[in-house]
């Protein structure tokens, strides 16, 4: 993308990368309202269709390299790229909220942590397979062909797993029972309280407007949203500032390409292997405790990890010890971030709550982390490492502050599974009631 669309500018490339993340909160809001109104199943179907269309469409765009820098078609291609990435971001933002909400609501409570970490397993499998496909095309066709035309095929071939996913969601998913119970209860309550009023004023019964839903949500759940945003920050920054951007940094600073690809693949495999044990720990000791442990680990390790990598990018041993093993351990401890966000909100607004809090945190901090990391090198050679540690520190402070708020009765941190969360220290009056 850097050489095909952005004339070799790394900053322009990362700015284009952030377009996807800038749209995530809007997607989280739109599909969150859709899911909380019409059901979880509809939202996950709409989101995957949109992501599939946007991904395949990127492989069909005209490029400045193909048409020339002064061509109108080249400018059209860059414009369409931003548009498709915005669509991709809208649908991805809705996807994560809908899928997280659905899994938390259909999972057994005693194994909810392990079920939710399956999101991390599939996400890492997708990253890993994408890297392997690109690497296979690069090895087979060479750099020249990849720049000219072969770069398109990984995007176009996404149609195969995409159609399988669409089929599975259409015919194999059942609606969340928690949503159906909440929806049925809401319908009965509304019909009893609203019918007489509507008849008296002579108007039909309507659903709440989107604007009214958002206003009520913002007024009632503002604290939960802020806790979710702060809790997501550490994980988001490490994913895109510590793994995705770092891969680009290492490639430019002398890391052997084949070993870098192998290190990245092994990192994803290790994260997949660690996901279920982390979920099991969350089921035993609590989501909040695991999130706090991961944030503290990132605070302590962010700067040293980057300094170790930057000191000798060409060392294969250094590459595997830091980029593969240490980074995987830090990020894996935070795989319960999805459950952390879902627990913050009651069933009636859970999808909207996750969609807003997770996507603002991930889009704002994760999406801009590569751009900030790249720019920070102009100020200090330790900028990216300081960014990683600072993000961990902010999430640690957020979690500790949220527990303090729960102890004083100002917020409820766990609406589905109050125990385990973070031990009796998190219980305000000695109990944590479900909402």
pLDDT of residue 307: 94
pLDDT at position 192, please? 52
Nearest of 364, 356, 326, 369 to residue 14 by alpha carbon: 369
Sequence-separated (6 or more) residues with CB below 8 Å from residue 121: 272, 275, 276
Q: What is the pLDDT of residue 205?
A: 41
pLDDT at position 204 is 41
Taking only the tens place, the pLDDT of each residue in 224-235 is 999 999 999 999
Residue the block writes with tokens 């603002």: 360
Which pLDDT tens digit goes with each residue over 190-211? 555 444 434 444 444 445 566 7
Output the pLDDT for position 210: 67
Confidence at residue 72, expressed as pLDDT on a 0 to 100 scale: 61
Alpha-carbon distance of 151 to 155, in angstroms, equals 8
Is 70 exceeded by the pLDDT of residue 102? yes
pLDDT tens by residue, 360-379: 998 889 888 988 898 899 88
CB 267 within 8 A of CB 324: yes
Give the pLDDT confidence score for residue 272 in this predicted structure: 94
**Dihedral sign of CA atoms 314, 316, 322, 323 in order:** positive
| Residues 33-76 pLDDT 10s | 888 888 878 888 888 899 899 889 988 887 766 655 555 666 67
Mean of pLDDT values over 13-26: 72
Q: Confidence class of residue 434 from pLDDT cuts 50, 70 and 90?
A: very low
Q: pLDDT higher for 278 or 220? A: 278
Angle value at C-alpha 395, between 394 and 401, nearest 5 degrees: 90
| Mean per-residue pLDDT, 166-179 | 79
Q: How confident is the model at residue 183 (pLDDT cuts 50, 70, 90)?
A: low
pLDDT of residue 235: 96
- pLDDT the model gives residue 389: 97
Asked if residues 284 and 422 have their Cβ atoms less than 8 Å apart, the reply is no
Q: Among 56-60, 192-196, 290-294, 397-401, which stretch is predicted with the lowest mean pLDDT?
A: 192-196
| pLDDT given for residue 11 in this prediction | 56
Asked if the model's pLDDT at residue 3 lies above 80, the reply is no
**Number of other CB atoms surrounding residue 206 within 10 Å:** 8
Q: Which residue has the higher pLDDT, 410 or 172?
A: 410
Q: How far apart are the first and last CA of the chain?
A: 47
| Distance, CA of 394 to CA of 292 (rounded, Å) | 11
- Across all residues in the chain, what is the average pLDDT? 83
Grade residue 9 by pLDDT with cuts at 50, 70 and 90. Answer: low
CATH code that applies to domain 2-182+210-426: 1.20.1250.20
When mean pLDDT is compared across 56-65, 108-117, 263-272, the lowest value belongs to 56-65
3 state SS for the chain: CHHHHCCCCHHHHHHHHHHHHHCHHHHHHHHHHHHHHHCHHHHHHHHHHHHHHHHHHHCCCCCHHHHCCCCHHHHHHHHHHHHHHHHHHHHHHHHHHHHHHHHHHHCCHHHHHHHHCHHHHHHHHHHHHHHHHHHHHHHHHHHHHHHHHHCHHHHHCCHHHHHHHHHHHHHCCCCCHHHHHHHHHHHHHHHHHHHHHHHHHCCCCCCCCHHHHHHHHHHHHHHHHHHHHHHHHHHHHHHHHHHHHHHHHHHHCCCCHHHHHHHHHHHHHHHHHHHHHHHHHHHHHCHHHHHHHHHHHHHHHHHHHHHHHHHCCCCHHHHHHHHHHHHHHHHHCCCCHHHHHHHCCCHHHHHHHHHHHHHHHHHHHHHHHHHHHHHHCCCCCCHHHHHHHHHHHHHHHHHHHHHHHHHCCCCCCCCCCCCCCCCHHHCCCCCCCCC
pLDDT band at 148 (very low <50, low <70, confident <90, very high): confident
pLDDT of residue 10: 59
What is the structure's pLDDT at 202? 43
**Angle between the N-to-C axes of helices 118-145 and 72-106, in degrees from 0 to 180, rounded to the nearest 10:** 160
% of the chain surpassing 70 pLDDT: 84
Q: Give residue 218's pLDDT.
A: 83
The predicted pLDDT at position 113 comes to 94
| Interval 250-264: pLDDT, tens | 988 889 988 998 998
What pLDDT is attached to residue 188? 62
277-294 as b/e, with b when 16 or more CB fall inside 10 Å?
Answer: ebbebbbebbbbbbbbbb
Rounded to the nearest 5 degrees, what angle is found at the Cα of 316, between the Cα atoms of 134 and 128?
Answer: 30
Query: What's the pTM value of the predicted model, to 2 decimals?
Result: 0.81
């Amino acid at each position: 993308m850097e050489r095909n669309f952005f004339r070799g500018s790394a900053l322009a490339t990362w700015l284009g990368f952030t377009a996807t993340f800038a749209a995530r909160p809007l997607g989280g809001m739109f599909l969150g309202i859709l899911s909380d109104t019409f059901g979880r199943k509809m939202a996950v179907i709409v989101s995957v269709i949109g992501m599939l269309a946007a991904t395949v469409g990127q492989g069909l765009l005209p490029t400045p390299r193909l048409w020339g820098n002064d061509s109108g078609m080249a400018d059209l291609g860059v414009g369409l790229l931003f548009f498709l990435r915005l669509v991709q971001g809208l649908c991805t933002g809705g996807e994560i909220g809908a899928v997280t909400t659905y899994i938390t609501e259909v999972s057994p409570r005693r194994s909810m942590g392990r079920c939710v970490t399956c999101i991390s397993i599939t996400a890492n499998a997708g990253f890993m397979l994408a890297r392997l496909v690109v690497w296979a095309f690069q090895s087979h066709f060479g750099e020249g062909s990849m720049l000219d035309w072969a770069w398109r095929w990984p995007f176009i071939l996404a149609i195969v797993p995409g159609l399988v996913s669409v089929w599975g969601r259409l015919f194999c998913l059942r609606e969340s029972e928690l949503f159906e119970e909440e929806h049925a209860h809401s319908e009965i309550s509304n019909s009893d309280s609203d019918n007489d009023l509507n008849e008296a004023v002579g108007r039909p019964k309507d659903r709440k407007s989107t604007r009214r839903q958002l206003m009520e949500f913002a007024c009632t759940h503002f604290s939960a949203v802020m806790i979710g945003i702060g809790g997501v920050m550490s994980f988001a920054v490490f994913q895109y500032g510590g793994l995705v951007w770092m891969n680009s940094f290492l490639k430019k600073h002398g890391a052997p390409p084949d070993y870098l690809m192998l290190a990245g693949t092994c990192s994803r495999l290790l994260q997949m292997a660690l996901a279920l044990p982390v979920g099991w720990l969350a089921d035993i000791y609590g989501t909040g405790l695991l999130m706090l442990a991961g944030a503290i680990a990132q605070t302590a390790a962010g700067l040293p990890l980057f300094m170790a990598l930057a000191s000798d990018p060409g060392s294969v041993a250094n590459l595997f010890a830091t980029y593969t093993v240490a980074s995987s351990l830090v990020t894996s401890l935070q795989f319960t971030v999805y459950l952390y966000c879902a627990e913050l909100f009651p069933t009636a607004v859970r999808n909207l709550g996750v969609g807003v809090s997770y996507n603002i945190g991930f889009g704002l901090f994760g999406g801009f982390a590569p751009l900030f990391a790249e720019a920070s090198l102009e100020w200090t050679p330790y900028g990216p490492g300081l960014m990683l540690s600072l993000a961990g520190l902010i999430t640690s402070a957020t979690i500790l502050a949220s527990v303090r708020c729960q102890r004083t009765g100002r917020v409820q941190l766990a609406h589905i599974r109050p125990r385990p969360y973070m031990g009796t220290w998190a219980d305000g009056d000695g109990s944590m009631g479900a909402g």
